[in-house]
Amino acid sequence: MKKDQEQMNNNQAASADGRHWDASNRRHAQSERKQGKAVVVFSGGQDSTTCLFWALQRFEEVETITFDYGQRHKSELEHAKAIAGKLGVPHRILDMSLLNQLAPNALTRDDIAIEQEEGELPSTFVEGRNLLFFSFAAVYAKQIGARHIVTGVCETDFSGYPDCRDVFVKSLNVTLNLAMDYGFVLHTPLMWLDKADTWRLADQLGAFDFVRTETVTCYNGLPGDGCGECPSCKLRQAGLERYLADREQEGGIS
């Protein structure tokens, strides 16, 4: 017991001052806590990559799935695959191209501009996307014997997307359990965090530099700090600046 505690303290110290992550950390973290198997709904962006690190600290086995719904930038899928590869996590791409047939939107169509009118949902919104994604994730998770499903949805910066709300996720969790007679647990570690808090979480997980340089959040498909101009880059950058200012004031993470 004592030895375990010491090792855990060592791990925390290591992730606090080396702001990086490597496969040996992951293997160690996985061997410390035997808590079943999880599927992370993974886009290769800041939020879902932070969720992936979060899951790797908690679950014995972790897999990732990415949905291909005809994103404008195929590089998103390649980055997602590359990130999973670097972290040594199994990754699967599922074809969801029917989503674009049902609901054309600015994420999939070049001829629809990325914009948001006041009081309306932004043109990047896809009706029912999370309902479909989480349901497909659950079907896949049960098939591989995973009970835990981790997603990066967040109500704090949610831009009015109804299926990012906590009440929706809780409702769907009950529905999925009834639909498949199975004890799924939907995890949403970012639900109440703003973008600055999400950077803080990545830092606490020892993944700050990795998330900053490897992930793609930009609507123009550029990795890291992105194009700097699109709404997604601006949101990410504003959160990063707020977090870095806080961190400096606190004299570094401890």
| 57 among annotated binding-site residues | no
CB of 226 to Zn ion, least distance (A): 4
Residue entry with tokens 């009706």: 127
Does the protein bind Zn ion through residue 230 (CB under 5 A)?
A: yes
CA distance 140 to 243: 36
| 101 among annotated binding-site residues | no
If binding means CB under 5 A, how many residues of this protein chain bind Zn ion? 6
246's CB contacts (< 8 A; 6+ apart) are 196, 200
| 233 among annotated binding-site residues | yes
86: number of Cβ within 10 Å: 13
Here's the x/- map for Zn ion, 185-224, by CB under 5 A: it reads as ---------------------------------x-x----
Residue closer to Zn ion, measured from CB, 23 or 227? 227
| 24 among annotated binding-site residues | no
Among 44, 233, 236, 239, binds Zn ion (CB under 5 A): 233
Residues 5-24 that bind Zn ion (CB under 5 A): none
Q: Which of 18-26, 27-35, 37-45, 226-234 is the region at the interface with Zn ion (rule: CB under 5 A)?
A: 226-234
Does the protein bind Zn ion through residue 227 (CB under 5 A)?
A: yes
| 43 among annotated binding-site residues | yes
Instruction: Say if CB 168 and CB 162 are below 8 A apart.
Output: yes
What residues form the annotated binding site for Zn(2+)? 218, 227, 230, 233
Contacts with Zn ion by CB under 5 A lie at 218, 220, 226-227, 230, 233
Binding residue ranges? 42-52, 218, 227, 230, 233
